Structure 1
Amino acid sequence: MPLRNRAGDPVDPVPFLVVVGFAFLLVFSTGPIYLRALLGVDLATAIAGSTAVFLAATAGAYHRFVRTDRPDLRGETPVAWRYRRLWIGALLLALLLVLLSLPFMEF
């Protein structure tokens, strides 16, 4: 059964599955560890919190890549937009790495 957007058109499930897979890997590999280190919660609470974050990321990915997808608007993205998105992605990744290294810094 193919995924369909709100208009009933079939959409490509690969982008949705890739984003959900990366969200699963990131949230469950770092979430419980950092919740326990930063907030001092027990393991069950840390896993429950990570599950809540993963479910929110999955719902956001479904909304973005399936529900509101419009296959009729497919076309080539201008180079300037792709370049800008590349730099924004690199900046967000750098900020994420800094955020993930906070428990290892001594203030």
Structure 2
Amino acid sequence: MRIEVPVHNRHGDRVDPVPFLVTVGIAFTFALSFGPIYGLSYGLALSTSLAVSTLAFAVAAAIAYQQLVRCAPPLDAGPLPPGPRVERLLYAGMALGVLIVALTVPLL
């Protein structure tokens, strides 16, 4: 049984929700896995660390929604040019790599 939830952009056209869901899942993993640990190491209380991490996740989810759902082209827009797509994918991969390296640096 397949349940389909239609997701629409700002023009009312259907868009693919999978990139948004993957991005939000990664943001949730990073924000609530590393955020409280770093908050505690900087002297914040656990509740404050969780609140700041949840806020960071909410901001990341809002940005992902804006970029990947609200401003997305419709499914029937046809193929997008590969140049800009590859460039965006490269930049996203580099940003994720920088984030992973930054999170593995020991805290001072």
Do both proteins adopt the same fold according to a TM-score greater than 0.5, normalized to the shorter chain?
yes
1:30 Cα deviation (Å)? 0.6
Equivalent AA in structure 2 for residue 66 of structure 1:
V
Counterpart of 1:33? Answer: 37
Gaps of 5+ in 1: none
Matching of residue 100 in structure 1 with residue 99 in structure 2: no
Counterpart of 1:20? Answer: 24
1:94 Cα deviation (Å)? 3.8
Q: Percent identity?
A: 43
| Greater Cα shift, 50-59 or 66-75 | 66-75
Alpha carbons of 1:56 and 1:92: their partners in 2 closer, same or farther (altered >3 Å)? same
Alpha carbons of 1:33 and 1:105: their partners in 2 closer, same or farther (altered >3 Å)? closer
Equivalent AA in structure 2 for residue 3 of structure 1:
V
1:41 Cα deviation (Å)? 0.1
1:50 Cα deviation (Å)? 0.3
Q: Write the mapping of 1:1-107 to structure 2, written as runs, cut at 5 A.
A: 1-37=5-41, 39-71=42-74, 73-78=77-82, 82=86, 84-85=87-88, 87-102=90-105, 104=106
1:105 Cα deviation (Å)? 5.7
1:35 Cα deviation (Å)? 1.4
SS in 1 for 2:7: coil
SS in 2 for 1:75: coil
Q: Distance in 1 between matches of 2:16 and 2:40?
A: 37
Equivalent AA in structure 2 for residue 19 of structure 1:
T
Q: Distance in 2 between matches of 1:69 and 1:81?
A: 13
Alpha carbons of 1:5 and 1:79: their partners in 2 closer, same or farther (altered >3 Å)? closer
Runs of 4+ more than 4 Å apart: 84-87
RMSD of aligned residue pairs (Cα, Å): 2.3
